[in-house]
Structure 1
Amino acid sequence: RIAVKRLRYHLEPVADALTGAPEALIRLRILQDLLGDHHDGLVWIGIVRSFEAQAPNEGIRRGLGKIVARIERRRKRRFASLEDEWLAAAAATWRQ
């Protein structure tokens, strides 16, 4: 995510002078968002699981487990988008 952000920041000042750069900037923003969401999901799962481990009763543990499952489903959906848009089609996209 940080490498994408740096690339985007380096490209922005010269984008008008480079063919295809404005479109590349849009795609880089999307990639940065997808990677950020993926990372945030992992961080939040860790946080919620630490509370889950310390929960005083089974009801709270179950509730926190449901939160983890929901975060994990979203993270997996976002990662699938990342795979579809960036890993599977990356070579063709960036050749353009």
Structure 2
Amino acid sequence: MADGAMSEFIAGFQDGRGETKVTLSKTRAQQDGALKGEKFSKHSSIIIEKSSIQPTLVSVRLPLNGGLFGYDVEIPDGHQIDINKTVITPKSDVIEIKIVKIGEFTLPA
């Protein structure tokens, strides 16, 4: 990964039974700066390659224009997600994450 601090995306959560949908979007500073005019779908392969899905953490990463952009969704202690059904989908202006939960818990914690 790139050196230095990561610039976080804005995260919106729609929590439901069995799954949570997380929508990541650019901050105003990102829209006006390093990510101006950039479509996430154009960088789909690098986002998928650099991101990771683990039982207790989903990390989305986009190294671009000399910076590192992303967001971490931490799963509450004692809970896990289904890594085979959890999916990261870069779209034009947002990155959608479908998190499939094992058991009942609420995100964000």
TM-score of the superposed pair, with normalisation by structure 2 = 0.19
Q: Which has the higher strand share?
A: 2
**Rg bigger for which structure?**
1
Q: Which has the higher helix share?
A: 1
